[in-house]
Amino acid sequence: MSHTLVLATRNKGKIGEFRRILDAIAPGEINLIGVDEFADLVDVEETGKSFEENALIKARYTAAATGLPAISDDSGLCVDFLNGDPGIYSARWAGEHGNDQANLEKLLAQMKDVADENRTAHFTCVAALALPDGRIHVEEGFFPGHILHTPIGENGFGYDPIFAPDGLSISSAQMSAEAKDAISHRGKALRSIAPHVIQILRSLG
């Protein structure tokens, strides 16, 4: 039996990534759709002060608006030299939401003269499940690495071209989707929450 789950995003990259991970855990069991499937659904403002707050805001809103179980994530790049920034502001670091190139250029400019040993960073992802009846479940994942001096790679999205995962000599934008899913913050968070998602959806009948 297939259960419909709404992913609270319009980002095609995220939808594809979530779908691959869920299909690997429960093949054919979850019909994952994005909010673009709902013409009247507006984007809720992310007013939280943490990844968890923002993920829950989006998941709860989407579940209430659609009447379906909803999952959302909030993720971002946390750079140690910048005291954890851009953090929850990662998608709009340069001022315009979702302008990856501008965000990359701003971050690289801020890190221009920073030595390699001080370029440590990690991605954080919080995945939140919300049901129309008010139940929630939250999981978190981390992806450690460091900031490169120049972008490299064509895969991925966001800050992937300037982020080198710990233990690898390539950027996360040079990794295959499957290799990245196996170690990424989003992959870890979703794999952690997936058993809870499946259990709860199964309980709905």
- Of 57, 55, 63, 198, the residue nearest 140 (C-alpha): 55
CA angle at 18 for the pair 13 and 23, rounded to the nearest 5°: 130
Task: Write out the E strands in 148-190.
Answer: 163-165
Extract the tokens encoding 116: 């390699």
**How many Å apart are CA 133 and CA 131, to the nearest integer?**
5
Region of 124 on the Ramachandran plot (φ > 0 left; ψ -120 to 50 alpha; else beta): beta
List the catalytic residues. 74
Q: With H, G, I as helix, E, B as strand and everything else as coil, classify residue 88.
A: helix
| Strand pairing report for 120-130 and 163-165 | unpaired
- Of 177, 144, 149, 169, the residue nearest 24 (C-alpha): 177
**How many Å apart are CA 205 and CA 203, to the nearest integer?**
5
